[in-house]
A and B are shown apart, each in its own frame.
Chain A
Amino acid sequence: AQKVTQAQTEISVVEKEDVTLDCVYETRDTTYYLFWYKQPPSGELVFLIRRNSFDEQNEISGRYSWNFQKSTSSFNFTITASQVVDSAVYFCALSEAGNNAGNMLTFGGGTRLMVKP
């Protein structure tokens, strides 16, 4: 069965600091997708990135970067030069090819990031 663990329940940083959010996953499938979503105080889920299990290249998008390492089953998310607007709950999620529910997502418990001015 699939599982996603976000060990950091809450992180507090000061604006302009870099911060890394950890995500560790478990799956028996060799084909899967990993996701990060942002949930601001307004409650909606904002899609940030999707990564497939065959592509371990790190990705950078502006101040965001992702480090995918299959050897440690981790998909960590780094925000560089954090801003107050980055304050939100961030969820890591996994979708397996082998489940019967199409691409049902399994979410981690989330990390609440607070960026103070």
Chain B
Amino acid sequence: EPEVTQTPSHQVTQMGQEVILRCVPISNHLYFYWYRQILGQKVEFLVSFYNNEISEKSEIFDDQFSVERPDGSNFTLKIRSTKLEDSAMYFCASTLTSGVFNEQFFGPGTRLTVL
């Protein structure tokens, strides 16, 4: 069964460093998402991406963040100059179309720890 994959599973970085979180969505999917979950809190939407551009972003997704689909398979989230409060689990998701009746498939997450 096709699945969304994410690498690395755990990333530790120093405050102020840049990190890139990688996701490989399901191959024929067209819509991609990043969500964030701070430890012990709810899952929050960060950004959605379609046709090589951001279609929607939350207020969390400020200039510190960027997303990219550098090739036909990867979907990346870059966090510049990381802060302690960026420590969280980051989930990638993908879906075939934008229709509300289409299931969103989640990856296993990347746990980011900023020291």
> Residues on A close to B: CB < 8 A?
31-33, 37, 43-45, 47, 50, 52, 91, 93, 95-97, 99-110
Contacts and interface: CB of A to CB of B under 8 A. Distances in A.
Interface residues of B, number: 28
A43 B101 contact: no
Contacts of B102: 103
Interface stretch (B14-22, B75-83, B104-112): B104-112
A103 B55 CA distance: 11
B95 interface: yes
A50 B102 CA distance: 10
Given A43-B108, A44-B109, A97 B100 contact: yes
Contacts, number: 72
Contacts of B31: 102-103
Interface of B: 31, 33, 35, 41-45, 48, 50, 55-56, 89, 91, 95, 97-106, 108-109, 111
Nearest to B89: A43
Nearest to A89: B40
Given A107-B42, A107-B43, A108-B42, A102 B103 contact: no
Contacts of B33: 101-102, 104
A110 B42 contact: yes
Given A96-B100, A102-B98, 4 more contacts: A33-B101, A43-B109, A45-B109, A93-B43
Contacts of B45: 101, 104-106
Nearest to A108: B42
Contacts of A44: 106, 108-109
Contacts of B99: 97, 102-103
Contacts of A93: 43
A91 B98 contact: no
A104 to B, nearest CB: 5
B48 A104 contact: yes
